[in-house]
Amino acid sequence: MIERTPILNIATHVILAFGLIVILVPIWLAFVAATHTLQAVNSAPVEFWPGDQLWVNLQQAWAQSDFGPKFVNTLIVSIGVVVGKITLACITAFALVFFNFRGRMLIFWMIFITLMLPLEVRIVPTYAVAANALTPFQTIMDWTGINWLIATLSGVEVKLEWNLLNSYTGLILPLVATATGTFLYRQFFLTIPDELVEAARMDGAGPLRFLWDVLIPLSKTNIAALATIMFVYAWNQYLWPLLVITDRANYGMVVVQLSDLVPDQLTTGGGTPTWHLAMAATLVVMLPPIAIVILMQRWFVRGLINTDK
């Protein structure tokens, strides 16, 4: 129900404005802090208006955190995660919706249940697998006695090892499996009328052709939405890169670098906290996700206008 009364209008706008303030004030403070010198930031009355040190602070923060290569790393990982997630989610949902096979619902629910198991919950086993991605196979072979057989017959002991630590693969793969995306795609695919599937069959299009020519163009807006969410998600990863990357010089990610700039007892060692640098770095790190959201939002809208339903 849509109600339009002046009082309600004013009330909703007040709530909106309040929400906006709650969100914007911290960002504004971060921006202000990034424009002052160390002394100004740490002196008693909190500055509310920007100073003239922005460029200086940005340069110093950039250099100190070695942001150049770290941005490239993070971009590679984020794009890898986005592409991987979308591809995987799309083909999984495609199989689940358009093919009739035994255990279809079981598989769907198993995927769905993993929604309840985010990376943080399964971080220890995931790390173990990342340390040697072939561990599961090794275990199976040990248990079934295949290794024993091989060892007795040939004298060679089988040790499978594929280390994913300190690599892009290790950063990307554990983040790729996604129940959210699969679920999103499944729900969208379920709205595709059966007749459309049948029309494609009559036109002679095989399953992959149908996926490529019909489903993917139709799910453009879905892809845009999922890509946006997942890019921000991947960009903001902190815990996983922290664990899996020890070679920070080559594979460091920006958010981890950023956390190093945030002053704490360890980094300052009792010295003056360098909040101006931390805030300047925050501004820089924030930019790509914001840019993506703004860019993709235009796509969203275009997609919505163009839907022919």
Looking at 161, 213, 247, 264, which residue binds other proteins (CB under 8 A)? 213
Cα pseudo-dihedral 46, 48, 49, 50, rounded to 10: 60
* Contact call for residue 204 and other proteins (CB under 8 A): yes
Distance CA 32, CA 41 (A): 9
Looking at 4, 102, 159, 309, which residue binds other proteins (CB under 8 A)? 309
Q: Which of 218, 199, 202, 214 is nearest to 307 (CA)?
A: 218
Q: Which of residues 160-199 bind other proteins (CB under 8 A)?
A: 193, 195-196, 198-199
Distance CA 210, CA 111 (A): 24
How many residues lie near other proteins (CB under 8 A)?
19
> How many other CB atoms sit within 10 Å of the CB of residue 276?
26
Stretch of 77-85, 171-179, 209-217, 285-293 lying at the interface with other proteins (CB under 8 A): 209-217
Smallest distance, other proteins to C-beta of residue 193, A: 7
Query: Is the CB of 198 or the CB of 247 nearer to other proteins?
Result: 198
Smallest distance, other proteins to C-beta of residue 107, A: 22
Looking at 13, 104, 122, 209, which residue binds other proteins (CB under 8 A)? 209
Smallest distance, other proteins to C-beta of residue 194, A: 9
* Contact call for residue 99 and other proteins (CB under 8 A): no
Query: Is the CB of 28 or the CB of 98 nearer to other proteins?
Result: 98
Helical H runs in the chain?
6-33, 38-42, 54-65, 67-98, 104-113, 123-131, 135-144, 146-154, 168-176, 179-190, 194-202, 207-210, 216-218, 220-235, 239-244, 248-251, 254-261, 265-268, 275-306
* Contact call for residue 201 and other proteins (CB under 8 A): yes
Distance CA 70, CA 281 (A): 12
Smallest distance, other proteins to C-beta of residue 203, A: 4
Q: Which of residues 8-67 bind other proteins (CB under 8 A)?
A: none
* Contact call for residue 202 and other proteins (CB under 8 A): yes
Query: Is the CB of 22 or the CB of 305 nearer to other proteins?
Result: 305
Q: Which of 69, 66, 286, 81 is nearest to 171 (CA)?
A: 81
Q: 7-28 burial, b for 16+ CB within 10 Å, e for fewer?
A: eeeeeeeeeeeeeeeeeeeeee
Query: Is the CB of 56 or the CB of 199 nearer to other proteins?
Result: 199
Smallest distance, other proteins to C-beta of residue 220, A: 8
Residue numbers of the site for other proteins (CB under 8 A)?
A: 193, 195-196, 198-205, 209, 213-214, 217-218, 307-309
